[in-house]
Amino acid sequence: MSDLASPAAPGHRAVIIGGGLAAMLTAHVLSKVTDVLVIERDTLPTVPKARTGLPQARHTHVLWSGGADAIEALLPGTAKELDSAGARRIPLTTGMVALSPQGWYRRWPESHYAITCSRDLLDWVIRQRVLREAGTRITVMERTSVVGLTGSSSTVTGVATRREDTGEEDTLLADLVIDASGRASRTPQWLAALGVQASAVREVDSGLVYASRIYQAPDGLPEDWPIINVQANPRGNGPGQGGVITPLEGGRWLVTLHGTHGGQPTKEADEFQHFARKLRHPIIGELISKATPVSPVSVTHMTANRRHFYEKAALPDNLLTIGDSVASYNPTYGHGMSVIAQGAVILRNTIQRHGWNSPGLARHAQKAIAKPVNTAWTFATGTDVFYPGATGTGPTASERLAAAFVDRLSYTATGSGPTARALTDVMTLRKGPERLAWPDVLIRALVGPVKPPLDQPPLTAKERAAVDYN
């Protein structure tokens, strides 16, 4: 056993599996009450840089205000640090040119916001901040994989580890083990090895493929250049295809194109612009023809909605799962990181309510963090069930009814500011889906849009002139 094998004193160490965003925000929360050991397979870069364990960082990552507010509540001043590092704070819907299945949204005055930058930068800013603030309370053990849980079907006592370079194996004890190892979490297998009955899992997979490429944006763009988004239509005649241009630090654009079964983009650079021009509107293809590609095309199939219902399972004591290890979502909705941040706030509140090391703490926290998971899950699967083959059975009657209502709201939002604001309340995860059943929303949905539909993208005259877009 290593010198880390025993906690300094009983009740004083948590072990976190993984060193990504969920791990860092959770480590921050736990460092207020205990020592924390973060075990990460990769080497974590000391500058904003790509790493093997975060392949999704090559693709668009938008942080909605629901998540950004939660990070700010945990780590005040992070938004400012991101801003100094080159991230953009984009007011919504002012800073978004978006084509919904029901038509172009208008650019209403700010009610919410999004933060855009590369995922490598976002993670780096948060990691530096968390580790700086925690001092010696958080230890990061890099190039080490967790390969199992120790304990019994009733209580987890620690983790089994293996060094990536030497293969050396070890057992590390902990009062609380947190799985933050992401989509590829091995917790189901590790629990089976302890004799724990499997938790229910649901998957809704539209076969979505993401293809992303970085461009140097054209010179002379206005500083408040918007996000450009052509959304897929889940209830159209063919596959769902869409795309987004997101401003990145360094005057760059991250361009992500996506398509479901039968309409997926490829990693061929020659086909990228062509695919973009064939979307429901060619604006993305037209704009990138004026920009300079500076990276190859990266492709991922890692996009299915998958949820483990751990909050309903009889998990052993002292085990908590968070982040993508609990649930991952179709990334076009951009909810994963916000759910993680809100989950970290909920964990903090749960510890405050029940007390650190109180009996059943992990179980209380697992149930509590299911709330933001539910919202994102309902949002994503409520749409994705309509793609052919996404589920074995197709949409249920209640899913069809809910979708018809959301379509009506989305149509109303194309010409009603208050309705657009209500939809954005939910999209940014600042409010739960119940917001859409408030009387003001229902009445506006009955009335429909009060302004006429837009027949072209709502770029301003200044924006059009900057890119010579007619």
Ligand X SMILES: Cc1cc2nc3c(=O)[nH]c(=O)nc-3n(C[C@H](O)[C@H](O)[C@H](O)COP(=O)(O)OP(=O)(O)OC[C@H]3O[C@@H](n4cnc5c(N)ncnc54)[C@H](O)[C@@H]3O)c2cc1C
Per CB under 6 A, residues contacting ligand X are 17-23, 39-42, 53-54, 56, 59-63, 145-146, 180-183, 210, 300, 302-303, 323-324, 331, 334-338, 340
Cα 83 from Cα 90, distance rounded (Å)? 11
- Nearer to ligand X by Cβ, of 22 and 134: the residue is 22
Least Cβ distance, residue 329 to ligand X (angstroms) = 7
Beta pairing, strands 96-100 & 35-39:
unpaired
Least Cβ distance, residue 54 to ligand X (angstroms) = 5
Least Cβ distance, residue 344 to ligand X (angstroms) = 11
Cα 205 from Cα 399, distance rounded (Å)? 16
Sole residue written with tokens 């700086």 = 132
- Nearer to ligand X by Cβ, of 175 and 179: the residue is 179
- Nearer to ligand X by Cβ, of 78 and 419: the residue is 78
Sole residue written with tokens 């919904």 = 100
- Nearer to ligand X by Cβ, of 291 and 429: the residue is 429
Least Cβ distance, residue 6 to ligand X (angstroms) = 21
CA dihedral defined by 326, 163, 38, 370, rounded to 10 degrees? 10
Using DSSP's 3-state secondary structure scheme, residue 363 falls into helix
Q: Give the 3-state secondary structure of 97-153.
A: EEEECCEECCCCCCCEEEEECCHHHHHHHHHHHHHHHHHHHEEEECCEEEEEEEECC
Cα 353 from Cα 365, distance rounded (Å)? 10
CA dihedral defined by 124, 224, 59, 200, rounded to 10 degrees? 80
Cα 124 from Cα 287, distance rounded (Å)? 30
Report the half-sphere exposure of 323 (CA within 13 A, side-chain side).
23
Least Cβ distance, residue 303 to ligand X (angstroms) = 6
The two three-digit tokens of residue 47, written as one number: 């500058």
- Indicate the DSSP class of residue 453: P
The two three-digit tokens of residue 383, written as one number: 């749409």
Q: Where are the alpha helices (DSSP H) in 159-254?
A: 187-193
- Nearer to ligand X by Cβ, of 320 and 441: the residue is 320
Cα 80 from Cα 428, distance rounded (Å)? 20
The backbone region for 355, taken as left when phi is positive above 0, alpha when psi lies in -120 to 50, beta otherwise, is: left
Least Cβ distance, residue 147 to ligand X (angstroms) = 7
- Nearer to ligand X by Cβ, of 37 and 146: the residue is 146
- Nearer to ligand X by Cβ, of 196 and 227: the residue is 227
Using DSSP's 3-state secondary structure scheme, residue 173 falls into strand
- Nearer to ligand X by Cβ, of 128 and 357: the residue is 128
Least Cβ distance, residue 93 to ligand X (angstroms) = 17
- Nearer to ligand X by Cβ, of 229 and 416: the residue is 229
- Nearer to ligand X by Cβ, of 20 and 285: the residue is 20
Least Cβ distance, residue 311 to ligand X (angstroms) = 16
- Least Cα distance to 411 among 439, 451, 458 occurs for 451
C-alpha torsion sign, points 421, 463, 250, 254: positive
Q: Which helix (H) or strand (E) holds 308?
A: strand 305-308
Which amino acid type is present at position 155?
Answer: T
Least Cβ distance, residue 324 to ligand X (angstroms) = 4
Least Cβ distance, residue 408 to ligand X (angstroms) = 26
Least Cβ distance, residue 428 to ligand X (angstroms) = 11
- Least Cα distance to 39 among 168, 162, 190 occurs for 162
- Nearer to ligand X by Cβ, of 69 and 412: the residue is 69
Sequence-distant (≥ 6) Cβ neighbours of residue 357 within 8 angstroms? 11, 175
- Nearer to ligand X by Cβ, of 93 and 300: the residue is 300
Least Cβ distance, residue 145 to ligand X (angstroms) = 4
